[in-house]
């Protein structure tokens, strides 16, 4: 699973039962907040450093983990 690819599709996420701790959606939302603020985010997969990726514009279009290569798009 070194090349897991996470699409940001909140509407496609299944409803999860309540549980302790942050949900996957919480973790992904937090990572996105950091990426769009041009900060290094915590990888939701391995807790490594995820750096913002940029397209043709000034805002981040995703992120890539330097440790496990997971990408957020
Ligand atoms: Zn990672």
What pLDDT, on a 0 to 100 scale, did the predictor assign at position 26? 92
CA distance 31 to 37: 10
> How far away, in angstroms, is 49 Cα from ligand 1 center?
7
Q: Can you give the pLDDT at residue 21?
A: 87
Q: Residue 20 has what pLDDT?
A: 80
- Is residue 41 classed exposed, middle or buried when 0-12, 13-18 and 19+ CB atoms within 10 A define those classes? buried
Residue 58 alpha carbon to ligand 1 centre in Å: 24
Q: What is the model's pLDDT at position 35? A: 96
Ligand 1 ion: residues within 5 Å (CB):
43, 45-46, 48, 65, 67-68, 70
25 phi and psi angles, rounded to 5 deg: -65, -40
Please spell the DSSP secondary structure of 14-39, one letter per residue: PPPPP-SS--HHHHHHHHHHHHHTT-
pLDDT in tens, 15-73: 666 668 888 899 999 999 999 999 999 999 999 999 999 999 999 999 999 999 999 99
| Ligand 1 centroid from CA 11, angstroms | 23
Ligand 1 centre distance from Cα of residue 65 (Å): 5
């Amino acid at each position: 699973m070194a090349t897991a690819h996470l699409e940001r599709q909140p509407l496609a996420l299944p409803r999860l039962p309540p549980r302790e701790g942050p949900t996957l959606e919480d973790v992904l939302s937090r990572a996105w907040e950091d990426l769009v603020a041009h900060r290094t985010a915590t990888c939701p997969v391995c807790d490594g450093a995820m750096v913002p990726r940029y397209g043709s514009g000034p805002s981040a279009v995703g992120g890539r983990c330097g440790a496990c290569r997971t990408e957020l798009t």
